[in-house]
Each structure stands twice: as structure tokens, then as C-alpha cells.
Amino acid sequence: MTLSLPSTGNPFLIQISLCFGLMFLRRLAAIVPRSTSTRFFCSKDSLDLARTIAELSKEMESIFGEPPPDGLANSGNRSFMAQEPQHNSHVNLSSTSDKFTAQELHSISHNLDENAPGLTHVGSTGKAQMVDVSPKENSSRTAIATCKVLLGKKVFDLVLANQIAKGDVLSVAKIAGINGAKHTSTLIPLCHNITLAHVRVDLSLNPADFSVDIEGEAASTGKTGVEMEAMTAVSIAGLTVYDMCKAASKDIQITDIQLECKTGGKSGYWCREE
């Protein structure tokens, strides 16, 4: 890039020319990178523009004894140079991420044992699917799950005295938990709609940590387990406790939703280790 100065030795004309030149370059550096720099400028072009701005800045300083006003050259240089590396770094990070993901997937696939249990709700193409249980044999199945709701002393005392404005917290939560178990296949999209033989939900106040301990049990005879029904029962019961008590405190916590044990099916008996 070249800049033609007036042939006359008039310092005023030279100053005007240089100022207009710097203003043009600054505007070019500020606008072009945001819109079309990736299409019209390569890295060499950006370096040439930055070098030209720096040379003009030095020339103005040598003529007038001071750098360009308002840091025109520096701001234009920074504006242009700061944006193009960001674009390049984005591209590099994206490609690195893709490579890392591919390597991770390959490593996981390589390390999996052929006999290791897979994700039955994921098909061969990686898409979600509902498991076909028709080849399975019917068996008696049970599952027990637990949950804890941390109330805090203030709310705990209100529940203990049955002074919550909405009514009997534990009784309402018990019914809600049983109802939740019966609607598991509606709430969890890939769960089978099974016939439950029995649902039990028990709630008890625990003064040791001012909480409500919830235990849920589901039973059925069929081709798929009832673990989700038991866990849904305690989850809905816990949410109901929160709903009943939220006017007294927003600091209530629902924690430790987990399966404790299950029976039946191909995997047979399983129990959580203490």
C-alpha cells in the first residue's frame, strides 16, 4: 500500500493528507474485519495494513514532533489485529474439539468389552429407541427406592405440628407418590406402560437432620423391571413435600434419590452396598 503526498512542501497540506489517510485506514481496519476480512484479506494483507499504519504514524511524528492525535494508528492496528486472530483461533479450537471427540469415541469403543452391558435405549444408529421386551419371559419383579427432603428446623417443626397452611404434608405426599408411580411411563418417555401389582410409599420425619425420609416400593409381574416406578414414586413424593412447604421456606432441598434394591428379571437380585 502506498500513499502519495502533495508535491509541495506545505506542512499543512502534508498534515491534512496524512490525517485523512490514517482516518481511512482506521475506518477500514475497524469495519472490514467484522464483515468481509475472512473473504478479502489473508494474514499477509493484515500484516501489510498494520505495517502501513505504523509507518504513517512514525512519519507524522517525525514531521510534527508528536504521534497522531487520539492514537488513530494504534487503535486501528489493535482493532484489526485483535479480530483476525480470534477468528483463526475459533477455527483451530473447533477442529481440535472435533479431533478430540473422535479420539475419545474411538478409545471408548476400543476399551469396551464385547460382553459389557450396553445402553438398551440407544439403537445401532445412535438414535433413541424403546426396547422390545416381547422375547423376555414374565417374572416377579420388585424395586425399592429412597429419597430425602431437607426441611430445616423451622419447617420441620411446622410439619411435625401439622401447622402447614396447605394441610397434612405427609399424607398428601404419600398419595402423590403412589399416583406418580402409576404415571411413570407418561413422565419418562421410553419407559414401558406396565401393570403394577403394588405400590408403597412411606414418609417419616427425621429429627436428626430435620428432614423427611421417603421410601417407595413397586411390584409387578411382567417382562420389564419396576425400578423407574419406585424412583418416580419417591421423586414425586419429595416434590409434593416441597410444594406443600414452599410458603414457609424456599431453602428446602430434595436429595439422595436412589435405587436401593431390585429383584427379578435376567439380572436377578441387586442391592446397594452400604
Query: Beta strand pairing status for 270-271 and 211-222?
Result: unpaired
- Provide the residue type at 71 as one letter: G
What's the longest Cα–Cα distance across the chain? 103
- Taking a C-beta distance cutoff of 8 angstroms, is the pair 201, 172 a contact? no
Distance (Å, rounded) from C-alpha 170 to C-alpha 159? Answer: 8
- Provide the residue type at 258 as one letter: Q
Give the length of the chain: 274
Residue 192 burial (CB count, 10 A): 15
Strands (E), 131-197: 139-150
Measured between alpha carbons, how far apart are the two ends of the chain, in Å? 76
β-strand partners of 140: 221
Q: Which of 157, 202, 213, 243 is catalytic?
A: 243
Asked if 243 is an active-site residue, the reply is yes
Active-site residue set? 243
